[in-house]
Structure 1
Amino acid sequence: MNDLFTRFKDDIFGLAWLSISLFLGLALFSFNPQDPSFNTLGDSSLASNYCGFFGSFLSDVLYQSLGLVAWVLVLLSVRASVKFFKGRQLEWTRWTFIWGTILLITLTGLMELYLPEKQFYQAQIQTGGVIGELVTAGLTQIFNFWGAALLLWSSFLILLVFYTEKTLLELSTAPWSGVKKVLGKKDVISFSFIDELGVVEKISSFFKREGVEDSGLEKTIESYQEKSNFFKIDQDIEEEEASTEFSIQEGEPKEGQLSFKIFKKDKEKAKKKKPRITKRVENWEMPKLEYLNDPPKKSKQKNSRIDDKEIKIKARLLTQKFEQFNVGGEVVGIRPGPAVTLFEFKPNIDVKISKITDLADDLCLALSSESVRIIAPIPGRDVVGIETSNSFQETVYLKDIISEGDFWDAEMSLPIPLGRQADGEPKVVDLRKMPHLLVAGTTGSGKSVFVVSTLTALLFKHSPKTLKLILIDPKQVDLTIFNNIPHLIMPPIREPQKAVVALRWAIKEMDKRYRSMSKFGARSIDEFNRKVGELSKEEIEEHEEMNREAEENNLHLETYYYSPQAFVVIVVEEFGDLMAVDKNNVEHGVVRLAQMARACGMHLILAMQSPRKDVVTGLIKTNIPGRISFKVASKLDSRIILDESGGERLLARGDMLFLAPGISKPKRHHGAWLSEEEINRVVNHWIDQGEPEYDDLAMKALEGSGGGYDFAGDDSFNGNEEESEYDERYDEIVSFVSGQKAVSASLLQRRFRLGYPRAARLIEIMESEGVVGPANGSKPRDVLISEYKD
């Protein structure tokens, strides 16, 4: 019953005030001095008043005391009724009654001062009533007529300001605002008819024809023309902005507590940017946008967006709940989105923000919402944001984000389609500017869909010539669909031990790229690609010869690239599993890449279910500022991934918080949905054009990974690797090897506590001197000597 009353409370109070206004109006309109009242005795059954005996007494009291000002009470009752019907509340306080009462008394004095001779209803009623007569008599006796008029008018204006809480300027423009709404025009006072009738031209031609020289008039005409054109241009600009920005559905002036604006995107008027899709890059044909499914028609999703009535009910309940906890303020704006609606609440100046943030659970109960998140305050504004879940969640489709957003802009090197923002706008970010990304979310939150949609979007933007991928998927489920695409550097990795090898290869690749950039004096991968792209054929042959000599002499640290290099994106699904198997090596590898790999075009995307403290360590958080949180299990997980709570209050199925680098507060987005059929179309498009060309060094490293690498003990990782071919422990190691039947780099690592590059280099030296045999796949090398002499 309480919920039913709360829902229809405005209608009930609106009808009550309407009945009061009609009763007062009928009683005053049908007033008859002969009816029984306090001044006239008579039979109550003979009252001619439309409202009977009670109406005759009430109208007599009002007319005798206030005169014609009694009709102001009728107007105030009608105003109260209209406000309730519009879903607003009356802010009646003690001062409202005080200022209103004094204002009525002042108005009776003005009526009696200017119309003292006027009497109505058989000379029984005066214009200002008894109160007006007393006020006027007292003031005129002291100040005379003009002094009393000045005092009454100034008092009337001051009291009107206090009563309405509006400035005199606002009160003076209020009538024009009403006329604007009726006429539906921006400018009420318009002189456009002067231009239409050609008045200016006729006046100007008249003076020219008559030979009248009046420079002042000509300057006035020219000034008018310039000013007219200026306002015309300004009006066109405003209309153009209104067609592309938000259209305000409910934009009343602030008169009560629920005077807010509902911002909605006018999609019909918004100009959609036509995507500039690249169809072909060298020998590669790019995927068609038609591979992605079109979103269903609006009629099929007409109930997906929250309607205006539900918005107003929630805004009213929100304000009432705050009032119960003595939190004063008003809802000043509402922004509906695909999954949540943002209410902009402006608290009173004496309200502490901490008092609002503690009410999240109470608001969730009051609004019957699945989740409530409080942004206190919204950055750069003096309002608090309250995000509540919609009754129906709108599905966001990847095709819409790619088509409408900035996905195809040239500045977007590695675009990631986040989805739609809380206000429904598409959002695309560039991975190069982040430059790495942490993603966390529980099962069913939408984390895996986001990772897959990110990879699919990158396949729309880049060919294998400009993008290379390393996919690490310990679950062996989410990323297997991308097997055999030509963008892969190595096959998708499923074993955590081999994931460490892949990270080691990435570090070597990073070092080689930096050597190459240093060789050509480039500070970024874009500058390097531009410079090597300008090399002549003779210069390319010269660089090729230098690299060949370095490889023949086993001087691998002197090799470098002299051709354009692609971006490398390393995607790790279930990063927590890798940290559980080999935390030290994985952390060292990730931190090294996160610290240095940005400039050379290598980027990380690390996804996990639970962002525990032992998974997302301090070093990793420091070097990866870009973070996305889907729904997580607890506040602690949210604080680890976002540095604040809120992730635990998200909805499932794509609801996310994105924390961009350099931004203190995360922003809410709703991720794009992508079906398996759409992914298969894009993947098959690339598979049909060619097989992946795996990197030889990466494959050798994977094949020779017996037990993984020790990054902590790797000299090259710490930047202390010796470049000379001679090793001071060579004799000691060969003496040990001579007593073995087979040997491998891993054996030397464990026996002598060496880093892998040093152990591998010693194996190569021993092979060149005939100590061990050639490589035999992943098997250890045979030892060819049985005794060693210094």
Structure 2
Amino acid sequence: MPKISFKSKEPEESTDKSHSEIFGFVLCALAILLILALVSFHQQQPEKNLLGLVGYFTSFILNYLIGIQSFMLAFFLIFWGTRHLLKDPFEDPLMKVIFFALFLLSSCILLSLMSTSSWFYNLKKFVLFDTAITDGPYPTRISKVFLGGVIADYLYQGLPYFNLKILLTPTGTFCTFLLILLISLMSLFEISPLALVDHIKDRFQKLKKEAPIDETASFSVSNVESIRRVWPRKLKAPEEEEAIVELDLIEPVEPIKKRLLPKIKASELAPAIKLESKKKITTNGYDLPPITLLTDAKKVDQPLLKKDLERQARILEDTLLSFGIEGKVGEINCGPTITSFEVHPAIGVKVQKIKALENDIALNLQAKSIRIIAPIPGKAAVGVEIPSPTAQEVGFKQMLISYRNNPKKFHIPVLLGKTVSGEEVICDLSKMPHCLIAGATGSGKSVCINTIIMSILMNASPDEIKLILVDPKKVELTPFSHLPHLIAPVITEPNGAYSALKWIVQEMQLRYEILKQLGVRNIHAFNTRKQDLQLEQSLSIPVPEKMFHIVAIIDEFADLMMSTNADLETPIARIAQMARAVGIHLVLATQRPSREVITGLIKANFPTRIAFKVASRINSQIILDENGAEALLGNGDMLFLPPGTSQILRAQGVYIRDEDINRVVSFIQDQRPANYLIQSFDALSEDPLFAEDGEENEGSDSLYSRALETVVQHNNASTTFLQRKLKIGYARAASLIDELESKGIISPPDGAKARKVLIRPDII
């Protein structure tokens, strides 16, 4: 049996990098020595040359051959060596040398053409203008000034009958070699003339008029401080401007205009952030936590980003071509952790053919996973998303500064993260109005929940928003236990979660009754109403001055449903259907998005969904109704389905540290102690008013009798059958099936076979 060994490529790569750096250092050293030799050159005094006879003869030959352009040779060596030292060497050194030779030839001929001008004669002190070689091509022109060297002068006017001066005339020679000079320069520095023209054209258009931007009060994807980097195939520099791109999902409000910002240096940006963070924000006598409590995101230096992305773009094109698919990479959107390549296929290429090559493309790009969007909505291109060469942290502090500096405010702001193109994703939970979150362990789901809570704490007072937190793990949400924003302590028991949901239903009904008697439609109209004290005091129920929003966040929702006999689905569905108008919102999170947990009734009332990395395609289809979440990278990489649209955004979630959470919580607790409206929902579950419907009480006996009658009459003993007939949730139906089995009404489960009903209908 042959022996198979696996060798790491890291030593070979590090050796290549060290060789490249050594080569770059040698080139720079040679260039510096050449400059010293040229600067200290004296034709009649060789001993004065700083490099001795070697430097003298080197300078003599170069000045004789190419004249003043000898210095350009030294500068080219410095340019070449610097690229190696910066770990960005030429991809094709031979072509660079050829283009530099064309540049030297054209510039030398142009200098020879203009050397007869009197003002050029003043440059003679920098070059060898008298040749001492008697057998050279110019023995009779001792006083001639050769600015471009003898080779160029010989081609221009030294050749008999066939020189450039005769063939093209001075004007034609000037135009021809000026064009060659420009082409060689653009090739040397990789400048695209079309991209340059487009860039200049765009700049003039932006200076002429400023484009207005529509706002929305629901969902925004904004770009501040030149965060978005959209590069064409040659990856031109990002534009230094501020832009806001928003989806018009709700009623539009008065538009604001785009502001063009000057280029901001890092040293100038830091004081601006510091000034803003010191500003105290007060609402109703309550000071919002300052931004100084938060930590700056770690900055990642990406010197090789451009080179790596160009290399990946070429590999992508070559991979498609190897499978008979012709296509060109257009724009490259570089985000925090994901880079999106826009591939423009040739006419006649089927999009599904590219989609089928997902694994082959991932193999050639050496990527852990890729995602293909075929096609990109609104574009004639296919999107290929791969992990960025260097991941960049999305800081909560920077996003919060961006939101606070934005004149548009949300009722319940949620700072989610940044898209693959670097645009900020900020949502209004009051317009969502409920959210489903799914993600496996380590995918970033818990960090997302912490981000939602911190977004509320940093922007709202306890009088504006109240929280109900359910944490079956008992460790994820404990830092928030003593906040004044909480209606009750963090709930850790399944029975307490059911009691909290029933309390929310009762609160919802009470609020609707208040709105009905006052004749207002929603919580916003109620809080902005003109108070009529006489009318409000005459009502049968007490009317508060203002209603606060209630946000209930339930973590590990699937485990809750499996660990309790209570019917959690019914109150959740009722709240999701009706609670938006009275300012009550639900956020459900689960590790296992199964169909028994996220039923069709729940999905229909949770239009906003966030999917982190899940275990399988089935889980992705359950949470998003399509594949993709199983191929995410984890650590905050997510797919976001905004409300009111079917277009899914890929984004990198905000990362917030535990130290930041502890500092913010301590700041809030120092201002106000916890003032719970309910002392404990876990204890409240013992109250008969909030008892579980699945317990042995009067309601349980009645439901058991109905279940027994239904199963025996239809001779069908399945959980889904009871769910459909009795209109109850999965957990309660499963509990009834277990009870029927324990009393001998139905048989135990027998693999995939259906349970048998063991009694006859006439017995009951």
Structure 1 residue 507, shift from structure 2 partner = 0.9
Which structure 2 residues correspond to residues 492-641 of structure 1 after superposition, within 5 A? 492-531=490-529, 534-536=531-533, 538-543=534-539, 546-547=540-541, 561-582=543-564, 585-641=567-623
Change over 3 Å in CA distance of 1:427–1:645 after alignment to 2 = same
Q: Distance in 2 between matches of 1:687 and 1:239?
A: 45
CA–CA distance in structure 2, aligned partners of residues 642 and 665 of structure 1: 11
State the AA in 2 paired with 1:709.
E
1:344-423 aligned at under 5 Å gives the runs 344-405=342-403, 411-423=409-421
Task: Map 1:144-183; keep pairs closer than 5 Å.
Answer: none
- Residue identity matched to 1:748: E
- Deviation, 1:84, is 7.6
Aligned counterpart, 1:669:
651
Tell me the CA shift for residue 668 of structure 1.
1.6
User: Separation in 1 of the partners of 2:484 and 2:611?
Assistant: 31
Match of 2:314 in 1: 316
Cα 1:398/1:618, change in 2 over 3 Å: same
Render the CA deviation track for 1:474-519: whole Å, top value 9, x for unaligned.
1111111111211111221111122111111111111111111111
Change (3 A) 1:304 1:583: farther
Q: Report the equivalent of 1:691.
A: 674
Which residue matches 1:483?
A: 481
Give a deviation string over 1:17-63, Cα, whole Å, max 9, x none: 759989999xxxxxxxxxxxxxxxxxxxxxx9x99xxxxxxxxxxx9
Residue 92 of structure 2 is matched in structure 1 by 11
One-letter amino acid of the structure 2 residue matched with residue 314 of structure 1: Q
Q: CA deviation at 1:635?
A: 1.8
Q: Quickly say closer, same or farther: Cα 1:465–1:381, change in 2 above 3 A.
A: same
568-577 or 362-371: bigger deviation: 362-371
Equivalent-residue separation in structure 2 for 1:306 and 1:493 (angstroms): 49
Return the offset for 1:380: 1.2
**Deviation for aligned residue 1:581:** 2.4
SS state at 1:648 partner? helix
Matched residue, 1:269: 263
The 1:235–1:289 alpha-carbon spacing in structure 2 relative to 1, beyond 3 Å, is closer
Deviation of 1:9 (Å): 9.3
Secondary structure at the aligned position of 1:585 is classed as coil
Matches within 5 A, 1:416-495: 416-495=414-493
Whether the 8 Å contact between 1:405 and 1:427 is mirrored in structure 2 is no
- Find the counterpart in structure 1 of residue 760 from structure 2: none
Q: Are the equivalent residues in 1 in contact too, given 2:305–2:389 (CA < 8 A)?
A: no
* Change in 2 beyond 3 A, CA 1:16/1:568: same
**1:201-220 deviation per Cα after TM superposition (whole angstroms, max 9, x unaligned):** xxxxxxxxxxxxxxxxxxxx
CA contact (8 A) 1:496 1:578 kept: yes
**TM-score, normalised relative to structure 2:** 0.60
Q: Deviations over 1:552-591 (max 9, x none)?
A: xxxxxxxx64431110000001111112124771111211
Contact persistence 2:466–2:549 (CA under 8 A): yes
Q: Residues 556 and 589 of structure 2 are in contact (CA less than 8 Å); yes or no, is this contact kept in structure 1?
A: yes
Contact 2:486 2:676 (C-alpha < 8 Å) held by counterparts:
yes
Shift of 1:278: 6.8
SS of 1:317's equivalent in the other structure is helix
Q: Paired residue for 1:748, among 694, 698, 701?
A: 698
Q: Cα–Cα, structure 1 residues 443 and 260, in superposed 2: closer, same or farther, change >3 Å? A: same
**1:288 matched to 2:290:** yes
- Note the C-alpha offset of 1:12: 5.5
Residue pair 2:228, 2:423 contacting (<8 A) in 1 also: no
Kept in 2: contact 1:16–1:81 (CA 8 A): no
Q: Which residue of 2 aligns with 1:704?
A: 687
What SS does the corresponding residue of 2:592 show, helix, strand or coil? coil
Q: Does 1:644 align with 2:623?
A: no
Distance 2:229 2:567 in 1: 57
List per-residue Cα deviations over 1:425-447 (Å, max 9, x = no partner): 32211111111111111111111
Q: Distance in 1 between matches of 2:330 and 2:185?
A: 20
The equivalent residue for 1:93 is none
Distance 1:304 1:607, change over 3 A: farther
- Name the SS of the counterpart of 1:405 in structure 2: helix
Distance 1:501 1:251, change over 3 A: closer
RMSD of aligned Cα (Å): 4.9
The superposition leaves residues 570-623 of structure 1 with CA deviations (integer Å, 9 ceiling, x where unpaired) of 000111111212477111121111111111100011111121222211111111
Which has the greater radius of gyration?
Answer: 1
Q: Could you report, residue by residue, the CA deviation over 1:296-337 in whole angstroms, capped at 9, with x for unpaired residues?
A: 5xxxx3425862111211111111111111221211111211
Q: Do the aligned partners of residues 76 and 529 (structure 1) sit closer, same or farther apart at CA in structure 2, a change above 3 Å counting?
A: closer
* Counterpart contact for 1:304–1:393, Cα < 8 Å: no
Alignment of 1:287-306 (within 5 A): 287-296=289-298, 301-303=299-301
Summarize the Cα distance change of 1:238–1:266 in structure 2 as closer, same or farther, 3 Å threshold: closer
Match of 1:326 in 2: 324
What is the aligned residue count?
Answer: 540
Q: 1:215-258, CA deviations, whole angstroms, 9 ceiling, x for partnerless residues? A: xxxxxxxxxxxxxxxx9x974546999x9896999988xxxxx5
Could you tell me how far 1:281 is from its partner in structure 2? 2.7
The residue type paired with residue 492 of structure 1 is V
The code of the aligned residue for 1:443 comes to T
Asked if the contact 1:17–1:80 (Cα under 8 Å) also holds between the matched residues in 2, the reply is no
The equivalent of 1:59 in structure 2 is: none
Change (3 A) 1:286 1:80: closer
Q: Distance between the aligned counterparts of 1:345 and 1:276, measured in 2?
A: 46
Matched residue SS, 1:593: helix
Report SS of the residue matched to 2:426.
strand
**3-state DSSP of counterpart to 1:468:** strand
- Tell me, in whole angstroms, the C-alpha distance in 1 between the residues paired with 2:448 and 2:653: 7
- Cα distance in 1 for partners of 2:704, 2:543 equals 29
TM-superposed CA distance for 1:686, in Å, is 2.4
Find the aligned partners of 1:75 and 1:698 in 2 and give their Cα distance.
83
Q: Secondary structure at the match of 2:296?
A: coil
**Structure 1 runs not aligned, ≥5 long:** 26-47, 52-62, 90-173, 189-230, 253-257, 548-559, 712-744, 756-790
Aligned counterparts of 1:17 and 1:329: Cα–Cα separation in 2: 29
Deviation at 1:710, TM superposition (A): 2.3
Task: Please say if residues 99 and 188 of structure 2, whose CA atoms lie closer than 8 Å, have aligned partners that are also in contact.
Answer: no
Q: 1:514 to 1:22 in 2, by over 3 A?
A: closer
Partner of 1:105: none
- Asked if 2 retains the 8 angstrom alpha-carbon contact of 1:513 and 1:561, the reply is no
**CA contact 1:306–1:336 (8 Å) conserved in 2:** no
The verdict on how the C-alpha distance between 1:709 and 1:620 changes in structure 2, with shifts beyond 3 A counting, is: same
TM-score (normalised: structure 1): 0.59
CA distance in 2, matches of 1:746, 1:249: 62
Aligned to 1:99: none
Distance 1:664 1:357, change over 3 A: same
Secondary structure of the residue aligned to 1:599 is helix
What is the rounded CA distance, in whole Å, between the counterparts of 1:697 and 1:672 in structure 2?
31
Q: Is the 8 A contact 2:228 2:335 kept in 1?
A: no
The letter of the residue matching 2:538 is E
